[in-house]
Amino acid sequence: MTLTVAVAGATGYAGGEILRLLLNHPAYHSGELEIGALTGNSNSGQKVAALMPNLPPLADRTIQKTAPETLADHDVVFLGLPHGYSAEIANKLPAETLVLDCAADFRLTDEADWVKYYGNDHAGSWPYGIPEVPGRRELIASSRRVAVPGCFPTGATLAALPAVAGGLVEPDLSIVSITGVSGAGKKAAVSLLGSETMGSLKAYNTAGRHRHTPEIAQNLRAVTGGEVRVSFTPVLAPLPRGILTTVTAPVGAGVTTESAHDAFSEFYAEEQFVWVLPHGSQPQTQNVVGTNMCHIQVEVDEAAGKLLITSAIDNLTKGTAGAAVQCMNIALGWDEAAGLPTAAVAP
């Protein structure tokens, strides 16, 4: 049996990355997976060759308008659309279709959080797609709808999760994430021009205003059962891909660098896409480019009384498209790692 896969928003960064991963998926090469409709309203009618020459196997394909009827006869649909558009499309697709939404429409469980940060009606919530969070794999495996996480929440959640779940810190976290410009999507904006970003760093949506703040807090509350305070600051950096995240929080009594490292290593011992680095090594974005990996380090700042955690991910792979394909694999009962690289390009 061959499963057909459609990608809505195929010409965006997330959509293009999904296609790159699907083209290297063993099911694509065996004929079990077929890439169907590629849609994108602003580029409809154009050839893939003109828009994404990095995908030569799809060069002759034509981008179609994004419409439910175009997507409805596929077994799997990836939605790489701007926030606020996914719900309208998804609600018109058959219940048996596996839909993976890379936008925020179904991530938040709290309606008040959604209205505060996004300003329109709350569409509801779907099973959340970070499989490494305890209990999520089972929900993903039994669902035909998955909310793919945001890139910032992926790096921050994976970094903080063992510390919060294990009581290694007080649940009062300061999180700073430095991101490449592709995280803003493939839209024309003066603030993202090369002349505006090269040689410069800029914090934005500070002091709790970034939309990913409640998503991070929601993820961490799920493993502690209590309230979690999150101060999140994103910083734009002049690089195409990657997110480097630092998490600091008051460290618990008796916690040492050695015991924290052991706790993190044990927590992620069975996770093939999370690597707790050896003592003395620090995560670097260059070591995760194009991979579905999250590299993590943890240590105690004794003078400050803080636990310091650092993580690095590729925002387009583990932060978006890789997570989507990982969740697709789980929901279809395939090898979870199928088509997902763990080795980065170097240098």
Q: Which residues are catalytic?
A: 151
* C-alpha 302 chain-centroid distance: 32
Residue for token pair 């994404």: 52
Give, for 229, the enclosing helix (H) or strand (E). strand 229-236
Return d(Cα 165, Cα 224) in angstroms, integer. 6
- Residue 114 host element (H or E): helix 111-118
Cβ atoms 140, 146 nearer than 8 A: yes
Q: Is 176 exposed, middle or buried (0-12, 13-18, 19+ CB in 10 A)?
A: middle
d(CA 287, CA 296): 12
**Which candidate, 38, 29, 77, places its Cα nearest to that of 59?**
38
For 51, residues 6+ apart whose C-beta sits below 8 A from its C-beta are 11, 43, 63
The dihedral built from the CA positions of residue 250, 169, 228 and 212, taken in this order, carries a sign that is positive
Strand order in the sheet with 306-313: 202-203, 229-236, 172-179, 243-250, 306-313, 294-301, 274-276
Buried (b) or exposed (e) across 201-236, using 16+ Cβ within 10 A? eeeeeeeeebbbbbbbbbbbbbbeeeebebebbbeb
Six token digits for residue 75: 């077994």
Task: Kindly list the strands in the beta sheet with 76-79, ordered across the sheet, starting from the edge strand earlier in the chain.
Answer: 33-39, 3-8, 76-79, 98-101, 145-147
φ/ψ of residue 279, rounded to 5: -50, 140
